[in-house]
Amino acid sequence: MKTVLIVDDHRIVIAGCRRLLSKGGEYEVLDATTAEEAFALCDERQPDVVVLDLGLPGIGGLEVLRKLLEKDPRCRVMIFSMHDDLILVSRALQTGAKGYLTKNDAPEELIVAVEVMLAGGTYLSHAMARELAVLNHGPGRRQDLTPRELDVLRLLGQGLILGDIAERLGISYKTVANTCTQMKDKLTLKNTRELIRFAIEQRFDL
C-alpha cells in the first residue's frame, strides 16, 4: 500500500484530503500539522508522496521543502497551496517539488496528481503548465529578478514611492532608483510607470 503524507496546519483540509484519497485508491494517509511533525514522519515512515502546504506556521513552506529533500533526495513532494502566483510555482519546482496544486483546483485533481507522482511523473494543471511555459520562455521573466528587486517591485505594486521604499527597506534612494532601472532592463519595460503597472497587473504579493 502506498503512503501519502498530508502536511497542513488546518485539520479540515487534512480531513478533506483523506476523504478524497479514500475514494481514489488504496492509500495509507498520514498527517502532520507542523514542519517538525512532517520531518519526524518522513524519517520514520518514508512516505511515497508528501502533499505540502506552503502556509505552515513558523518555518516557510519552501524551506520545509528544501529540508525534506536534504534529508531524502528521493522524496516526492507536491505543493498544495492557496497561492497560484506563477513565480511561487516556478520557485517550488526549481527547489525540487514534483507537483503543484492549488486549493482552488477541482477536488478530483488531488487524486490525479498523487497518481501521476506515484508513477514517477510531475503534475501541474493544464492551465498552470501553459502559463508557466509562457512565463519561463517569454520576455521579461520575473524569476530573473534578485530578492532585492522582488522586494522593490512588491512595494511599487503597493503604491509606495521610491523614497518610502528606501525607508522601508533601509537602503538609499539611489539604490532604489538603480534597482528600478535594472528591473526595467530585465523586464523590457520603458519607464517606471510601466514598471508600476506591471507590478499591479501581476498582483505581485510575494
pLDDT at 124: 84
CB 150 within 8 A of CB 161: no
Number of Cβ within 10 Å of residue 138's Cβ equals 9
- CB environment 25-52: b (16+ within 10 A), e (fewer): eebebbbbbebeebbebbeeeebbbbbb
Q: What average pLDDT does the segment 164-182 reach?
A: 93
CATH number, domain at 73?
3.40.50.2300
Helix 61-71 and helix 86-95, axial crossing angle in degrees, nearest 10? 20
Identify whether 206 is part of a domain: no
CB 6 within 8 A of CB 101: no
Q: What average pLDDT does the segment 175-199 reach?
A: 86
pLDDT at 153: 86
Q: What average pLDDT does the segment 9-38 reach?
A: 92
CB 79 within 8 A of CB 97: yes
Q: Which of 113, 137, 161 is the last residue of a domain?
A: 137
My answer on whether 7 and 38 are in the same domain is yes
My answer on whether 151 and 110 are in the same domain is no
Q: What is the pLDDT of residues 53-85, one digit of tens each?
A: 988 888 878 899 999 999 999 999 999 988 877
Span of 22-26, 52-56, 102-106 with lowest mean pLDDT: 22-26
- Which of 5-14, 100-109, 123-132 ranks highest by mean pLDDT? 5-14
Q: What is the pLDDT of residues 112-164, one digit of tens each?
A: 999 999 998 988 876 677 566 555 544 455 667 888 888 888 888 878 889 99
Q: Cell match 520531518: residue? A: 39
Q: Which of 96, 115, 137 is the last residue of a domain?
A: 137
pLDDT at 140: 52
My answer on whether 192 and 124 are in the same domain is no
Query: Containing domain of residue 119, as a range?
Result: 2-137
95: pLDDT strictly greater than 70: yes
pLDDT at 125: 76
Q: Write down the mean pLDDT value for the chain.
A: 85
Closest CA to 41 of 74, 81, 71, 10: 71
206: pLDDT strictly greater than 50: no
My answer on whether 196 and 129 are in the same domain is no
More confident residue, 18 or 194: 18
Measure the CA angle with vertex 67, ends 92 and 36; round to 5°: 115
CB 45 within 8 A of CB 71: no
pLDDT at 30: 97
